[in-house]
Every structure is written in C-alpha cells, then in structure tokens.
Structure 1
C-alpha cells in the first residue's frame, strides 16, 4: 500500500493568524509519513464562498447537503483502492464486517488504514461544516465504510441510532455523518435514498427508536430523494433523517466512506473504537489531534464491529 504524505500547507494572513489550508495530496511509495505542522495555531480557513446560514438551513431543514467536486478523482481512486483491500481483509476476519442486509456490509476502520484520512478531516469544507453546526469543539468519533454489493436489496427506512434528548427536547443536532462515494453512482447501483425533513419526526412508534412502522412509509416515499454522487463529491447529513439503501441491480459494488462527528455531549463515540497508534498520532497535525476521539495504542488491534443495527440484518449478508 502506498503511503500518504501531508495534505496541508501553511499561510499567514495580514493579521498574523496562521491558517492550515488543504492542498492537493501527493503520494509516496512504501511510506506512512504524514507531514507534521508544528507550532501552528490550529485554525483552518473556511472556503471563501462558505455560507453558514445555507449549511445550517440545509441540515436543520432537509437534513442533508453536499459539496460537489470537493476532492480530486485521483485522491478518491486511491481511497477506493484502500477500501477494497480493507474490505477483503475484513471479510476474512471473524467480526471484521457487519451485515446491513443481504449483500451489504459495514466495516469500521482505523484512521491510519487509509492514506487520505488527514486530508479528509482537514478539508476546509468539512471543518467549516463541523464548526458551523456542532461548534468549535467537535470530535471525529467514527470512520468506516458501507459496501452495497450487486444483489443488495432495499433496506427498511430507518435512522442510524435513536434521537438523543438534545434533538428530541433541545431541538438541536449534535452529530453529523459525512459520506464520500468511491465510484460514480448511477440509478441501477442501489443509490442512497433519503426522506428530507424527517430528522425531527416523533419516534414514539418506532421500533428501537430507529425503525418506523410500515404505515409511515407512504410519507417517506412521497418525500424520497435518491442521491447519485460522483467521485470527488462529499455529502453531510443528520443520521436521524429517515433514509435507506436501495436495491443494487448492477454488477458493481457501491462503496462509500463514512465519517461520524459529534458535538460536545453527544455519545456516539461509545458505539465505536477509534484506535490510533502512538507513531501515527505523533505525526498528526495539532488540529486533527484536537478534533479526534481516540484510544491510543502501541499497536493497532483488529476491530470487532460494534455498531450493529439489528433491524438491517435481514438475513445473511
């Protein structure tokens, strides 16, 4: 596997504030070196056209928004290569992958398993969205990927976890899920489907607080939007917005990277085991360290998938 070499550059504004800016990544054979940015104020400048109100409106309204062409296709291709290797390894390891329905798996990974982790979590649009919606002390709590393979069927409509009190009572979102496809998605590949605005729906009749009764389905079908992103696009959503994976009628898998982020007080980190080796941690930019929930280890341990969603198993994966 090729290694990732630092995605960041440093500029100094007229006011003397150092900003960490994402640049096009480069790759180096047989290396896992990440260029460390020492003695730098951990600030990442938002994109010049970033509008906080629009992003807040999208996530509190429809519950999803996206940035087209955020990443170079070459970078996404490298990510896809990493995921293919990790997926094959996970399928061979007991507990390495969890079924999310027939021909569909979820695999949680270590940040350093992919070459582009730092570039992903320091992308100006990603950091700007996190700070706008979750506040300046947000934490990355999950990284993994979903793979709907050929033959995957329609999932039931669902949330990824029950709505927390912050949302039910406080009426605020305290977590976000970023999704980044590694392939161009077409209609027959089982695209992600979402029912906009349903992150605020009362879940008192939902099974396990996540699965609405089928009598609710007509409303979701009426609202449903299928998303067909291209390589380089990234989306962000509230995982409480009712959604599902659809049937993959093609002969191609549709891998998608998942990045989970929490605001202070959210508890999604309890469902995951974000391990970071000491050697990798020492090379991380300070900004990344401050926005990462992690378990520091001398050597990475195999992840036994913990975030199972029983209602999505639906038989053999």
Structure 2
C-alpha cells in the first residue's frame, strides 16, 4: 500500500493502475483528498502575497485572454516541497504512463479573475507527428486548486477522450454534443492529472476572488520545453536526494531573481 506523503488517503497499487487506465482512456483522472487541507492553506496564503507582488511588476503575470493570467511559482517555501512535486501517489501514476524517463519542467498557476470568459477550445501541445497519428501521453499536467472550484469561479472544462482524436474530429463531436465539455469541480486537496492534448478550455470566474489552479508539468525527458522553466537556488538543489535531482529539469542559481518576467504567453493549439 502506498500512502501519500502529504495526503489524507491511502492508495493501493490497484488504485494507481485504475488512475493510469483512466488517464489513457479519458485523458484525465482526479485523485480526491490527496493533499491535507493545512498544506493547501499554507500555499494559498503564500500565493495571495505572491500574486499581489506580481501584479505590481512589469511582465509579472502572463495574460491568458481577458481577466485570466499565468504565473510561474518561485522555488521557495512553501512551493518547494517534495511532498507535492515528488508525491509518491502522483509519481506512481506517472510511472505507469510514461514508458521512458520523465522530468518535471513546470511549476505555475492559472488564475481566472472576475470578468474572465470562456477560452477558445484548445490543446496545450501539438501532436508529436501529424494529427492523424495517435500521440502517446508524452506530457502530463498535474493540477490542484488552492480554493474550492465551483460552477461560479471558473472550473476547468475538458472533453474526455479527445486526446486520441484528430482535432477537427474532436471539435465536431463537441459541437454536436456527442462528447460533452465537462466541468471539473474540485475541493482543496484534490489533484487532477490530465493530458494537455485533450481538447479543453477555461470557463468564466464570476466571483470577486481569484481562482488559482496550480499546474506542475511533467514530460518525457527528450521533450524540449522552451516556454516553461524551473529555477532552483543552489543550496536547496544540493540538499535533495539524487533521485529527486534527476526528476527536475532546472537551472540552478546562487540566488533566485527578485523579479520574474513571464514568457509563457502562447499556449493554444
């Protein structure tokens, strides 16, 4: 039996097999209550401060259409946490999906605020070859919210199974209603793992509070990821076990820069 390092629930190997099967079939799986609420509360408090800082910095937030933003999280407490990015339940599922070595290449947040609208239905990655050749799951996004995700504050929406369809065929099935755009409602502590190849969109946040959704990106070791990056301070990096170091595709610096200019602006395919 595997127990999450930061969670309240136990998961067996059979559970992890089931999550991996859901990912392969549907392009998404949701793990309920993986992280403890006090961990999420700690992240939420730190995130609120970070968001206010970034809002006052030129280029501190990447625009994602109207009233929606993306920011890269700094590798500092509480965000630099092996119980989160190297959680054994998450890695146990990724181990079942990726047939080769994989690395973590992204730690950020998607933030719709009041005034946001539906995004255009899109993918975050292109197929490996052509749209007519089914692409294996070579990249996965691990998402978890810092607040409850409701119908009012901008739930992530996705059409299950569209990761194995040509884009035009998937869009046609969505338009006809054959495949619905499903909203994913989540509680703090829930974790979603999904393929960025499935057709999806953000929905409007109609509340007065931001809806931060953390995204951790994991990719096959050979995939070039120029739009996202991890920067770690040397003292923290050197303190990590060798196996964790190998998990991270990162730049190691003596100290983190005080300001971050976001470059991950173009994200739709």
TM-score (norm 1): 0.75
> Hey, what's the Cα distance between the residues in 1 that align with 2:30 and 2:263?
28
Aligned partners of 1:52, 1:228: CA distance in 2, in Å? 21
Figure out how many residues of one structure are paired with residues of the other and give that number.
265
Q: For residues 66-122 of structure 1, what are the alpha-carbon distances to aligned partners after superposition, in whole Å with 9 as ceiling and x for unaligned?
A: 110001111001111121122112221121111112111000123325345321022
For 1:139-288, list aligned pairs within 5 A.
Answer: 139-165=103-129, 169=133, 171-203=135-167, 217-219=174-176, 222-267=179-224, 269-288=225-244
Contact residue 167 and residue 173 of structure 1 kept, 8 A: no
Native 8 Å contact 2:127 2:135 kept in 1: no
Q: Could you tell me how far apart the structure 1 residues matched to 2:51 and 2:20 are? A: 34
Asked whether the 8 Å contact 1:148–1:190 carries over to 2, the reply is yes
Quickly say closer, same or farther: Cα 1:156–1:309, change in 2 above 3 A.
Answer: same
Alpha-carbon spacing, 1:249–1:69, altered in 2? closer, same or farther (3 Å): same
Check conservation: 2:115, 2:204, Cα contact below 8 A.
yes
Q: Is the 8 A contact 1:50 1:125 kept in 2?
A: no
Q: Distance in 1 between matches of 2:178 and 2:112?
A: 21
Conservation of the 8 A alpha-carbon contact between 2:131 and 2:166: no
Which structure has the greater CA radius of gyration?
1
Instruction: Structure 1 unaligned segments of length 5 or more: list them.
Output: 1-18, 26-45, 207-211, 313-317
Which stretch has the larger CA shift, 165-174 or 102-111? 165-174
- The correspondence for 2:81, drawn from 113, 117, 129, is 117
Structure 2 alignment gaps of length 5 or more: none
**Change in 2 beyond 3 A, CA 1:141/1:168:** farther
For residues 132 and 49 of structure 2, what CA distance do their matches in structure 1 show?
40
How far is 1:23 from its partner? 3.6
Mapped partners of 1:68, 1:284: distance in 2: 28
The one of 59, 64, 77 aligned to 1:95: 59
